[in-house]
Amino acid sequence: MRSLQILGLLAIASFASDMWSDLDAGASSGLTPVASSQAAYSVVVYSSSLAEPISSSMSSSSSVVASSILLSSSSPLPLLASSSTIEQASSVTSSSVLIQSSSSMAPMVSSSSTARSRSELLGPVRVSRVRGIDEMKGKYKSPRKALFLSLLVPGVGQAWVGGSVSNYARAGFYAVTEATLLGLWYHYSVDLYGKQVKSYEGFARTRYSIGKHESQLLTIYQQIADDTKLKEFDGLYLSDRKIYCGAIYKNPDQNNCTDVTKADNHRNFFPADETLDKSLATVGIWDENTLYRMIGSEDYVLGWTDVTDVATIASLDLKDADSEHHLLGVSEDQAAYLAMRDRANRLGNYQAYFLGGVILNHIVSAVDASVAAYFHNKGLYEEQVAWYERVRFDSNVQWFGALNTQVNARLDF
């Protein structure tokens, strides 16, 4: 029994001697701790094959293998590892000696050790890339420029901002609206209106005669013997004769046109059987548009070829300054002519609606383009998150007593 105790003591002494030799070997390999009064080191030996601390029952001939020595410290300086190999034993597959410092001292430095890079120790680190201001300039869209572009041509501002299907769709909408309004304006207020004007002008040229009007007017005028009635007649039926004569000659007094009784030279230029078409070809008219407007008046009905019921002094009932205005004659051609002019005027008035719509389209498109640029720029500084990425789940499990589970879902805004 005593001999067994002696053998046990000898085995423990042999194991302690081997451990001390291993530590001396590690110290002599170049690992020198920095001196510090607060330093405290601990040595723990683990076997990677057994995952247990090496026991003292190992043979004294066994040696500890340290495949690597890792020095760790709370200092932010990089960790250094020794390149030296301590020893390899046949009884242990691989072991490590971990030396830790409990103080904030600097890591151990070995003259024979080689520094390992940060990527080797920590692996690759993903760093977020931040766009610079110069890069952002290419994507920033000026709201003023967008407004100006769409103010000139509707839809161009939205197309310039781009970035979304909605912007391109609205750009197409404003462009199509602009083209439609301009097309309608041209069709009604230019094409159809021009055709209608040519139609009523051609109608008047073949059915109206300046000479006939002057001849019929002179016949009625010569029936008035009273100067008071002459003044009353002039006020009721010749109030715009100066405009009429000015449309023919430019100078209303040329050929005494304004004075019915002295306008023989004027009547000689326009025979009673000559239509307006022939008069325009031989004499010429200074302001045709004004003349076409004047012959539509009831005071110039006497020049239409189909005029009937020509008035007399008796039918006009000229009494005093309060006399009523009566028709000088009746003409179906004049009624048809006026209907044609009314239709032409309606077609011409359509341009106010179409051009007003064009202007409104420019304004709305410009404002919309400015707003589109604003939201586009706002999106450059905000993260676009899909709705499903804002869904959050919370779970709760209770193990005590009965097994209860709970899952909550919420949508963050």
Q: If you average pLDDT over residues 29-46, what whole number do you get?
A: 39
Q: Given this model, what pLDDT does residue 93 score?
A: 36
Mean pLDDT, residues 219-240: 89
Report the pLDDT value the prediction gives residue 126, as an integer from 0 to 100.
Answer: 52
Name the least confident of 94-108, 146-160, 226-240: 94-108
First to last CA, the chain: 81
Q: Quick one: what percent of the chain has pLDDT higher than 90?
A: 45
For residue 387, name the pLDDT band (cuts at 50, 70, 90): low
Question: Is 90 exceeded by the pLDDT of residue 76?
Answer: no
Whether residue 370 contacts residue 144, with contact meaning beta carbons closer than 8 Å, is answered with yes
363 in Cβ contact with 148 (< 8 Å): no
Average pLDDT over residues 160-165: 91
146-150, 227-231, 265-269, 396-400: the lowest-pLDDT one: 396-400
**pLDDT band (50, 70, 90) for residue 392:** confident
Residue 111 CB contacts under 8 Å (≥ 6 apart), including other chains: 30
- pLDDT, mean of residues 204-216: 95
pLDDT grade for 120, boundaries at 50, 70 and 90? low
Q: 404 has which bridge partners? A: 398
What pLDDT, on the 0 to 100 scale, is given for residue 220?
A: 92
Reported as a pLDDT band with limits 50, 70 and 90, residue 226 is: confident
- Which residues fall within 8 angstroms of residue 69, CB to CB, at 6 or more apart? 26, 31, 81, 82, 86, 96, 97, 99
Percent of the chain at pLDDT above 70? Answer: 62
Q: Which two three-digit tokens encode residue 5?
A: 């105790």
Report the pLDDT value the prediction gives residue 263, as an integer from 0 to 100: 85
Answer whether residue 12 shows pLDDT above 70. Answer: no
Lowest mean pLDDT among 83-92, 148-157, 317-326: 83-92
Query: What confidence tens digit (pLDDT) does each residue in 51-68 have?
Result: 344 333 333 333 333 333
Q: For the whole prediction, is pTM greater than 0.85?
A: no
How high is the mean pLDDT of the chain?
A: 75
304 confidence band (pLDDT: 50, 70, 90): very high
- Report residue 18 CA to chain centroid gap: 82
Q: Which of the pair, 31 or 169, is modelled with greater confidence?
A: 169
Distance CA 375, CA 381 (A): 10
